[in-house]
Every structure is written in C-alpha cells, then in structure tokens.
Amino acid sequence: MFSRLRLLPVIALLGLLVACGGKEAAKDTATKTIEDYFPVKVGGRTVRMQIAAMAAEMQRGLMHRKSLGADDGMLFVFTQPQQLGFWMRNTTIPLDIGYFDSAGVLREIYPLHPLDERSVTSRARDLQFALEMNQGWFKSAGVKPGDRLDLKAVADALRARGLKPEAAGLR
C-alpha cells in the first residue's frame, strides 16, 4: 500500500506532463492570427511577415508599435489589383513600403515618415500586395523593383490564418 501511494504523485506528474504536451501540440496547430510571423522570401531575402488580410487589420497596420525587428515586416493582402495608398497615422517607426502586383513582382518603393498623414499613393493601378519594412530595408537588403514576393508562402500563411488564399487569387 505504501509503495502504491508513493507512485501516485509520479503518475499524477506524468499525467500532467502529457496533458501539457497535448496543449502545446494543440497550440502549435491552432489557427494563426495577425500577431504571428511567417517566413516569406522577397527577392533573395527571407522576411518574417505578419499578414494583414482583414479590413480591421489593414486599418491598424503597424500603428502604435515602438519598434520592428530588422527583417520583420507587415504584408497587406488585397483581394484584387488596384491603386494603393498608405499613410502613417499613429505610426512612429520610419518605414518603407513596397508595392507588388498580383504576380508578386515588386513595382514601386516609397519612404513613409512617422506620423505623416499624407497618403503615399502608388502610380500603378494594378497592385495587390504592400509590404511595410523598416526605412532603408529594401536598399540595404538589395531588394529592388522587379524582384518577386514568394506567393506560395503567402498562400500558406493565409491558410495558416484560417483564410482562403483564393480570395486574393492565390492557390
């Protein structure tokens, strides 16, 4: 009887460890959110991107952030090609924005200045993705117009978020 009682805490501890492991595994397979980062290549560089695909996420963007990691950014995914324009309301981090067409080709890059509420509008009217990075990132990373965004990785990130990449014309 005494030896069985001594085993009870060990059995309980093992049960607790297995249960925690189950919760961690479930957490890993849970639907991702705007807070999660996804590795996506742009040109020859891999960026950790947060994916903004819903209206509220796009409106908030990088507002109220104090900093952004060196190779971190936010990708805005639109459902159809259009002329794009962004501003910096409540955004204190100096940024650059890259505008991409529906094929994932980088077409235009512009600087965005902290708290500037003037819209930085694209010249092209057939753009579908916008990537905000720390100011100077595109130049220092050697990423330039003509380089491509890995749309397969973007589609995978949208799926991980529980969203349909087909809504943005992706497979």
Give the whole-angstrom CA distance, residue 74 versus residue 58.
10
What mean pLDDT value characterizes the chain?
A: 88
Contact (CB, 8 A) for 159 and 165? yes
Q: Which amino acid is at 86?
A: F
Q: Which band of pLDDT confidence, cut at 50, 70 and 90, is reported for residue 28?
A: low
Q: Give kind and range of the element (H or E) at residue 113.
A: none
Residue 146 has what pLDDT? 98
- For residue 46, give Cα distances in angstroms to 49, 148, 166: 9, 12, 23
pLDDT above 50: residue 70: yes
Range 95-104 average pLDDT: 98
Range 84-103 average pLDDT: 98
Range 101-116 average pLDDT: 98
3-state secondary structure of 80: strand
Eight-state DSSP code of residue 118? S
Q: Give kind and range of the element (H or E) at residue 115.
A: none
Give the whole-angstrom CA distance, residue 163 versus residue 156.
10
Range 148-152 average pLDDT: 98
Which of these ranges, 19-23, 48-52, 56-60, has the smallest mean pLDDT? 19-23
- For residue 48, give Cα distances in angstroms to 7, 11, 15, 37: 47, 41, 36, 5
Range 4-8 average pLDDT: 39
Supply the pTM of this predicted model: 0.83
Closest alpha carbon to 130 in 73, 89, 88, 90: 73
Q: What six digits make up the tokens of 129? A: 């993705």
Q: Which residue bears the tokens 């529980």? A: 162
Domain 38-168 of CATH type 3.40.50.11240: no
Range 145-169 average pLDDT: 97
pLDDT above 70: residue 82: yes
Domain ranges of the chain: 1-30, 38-168
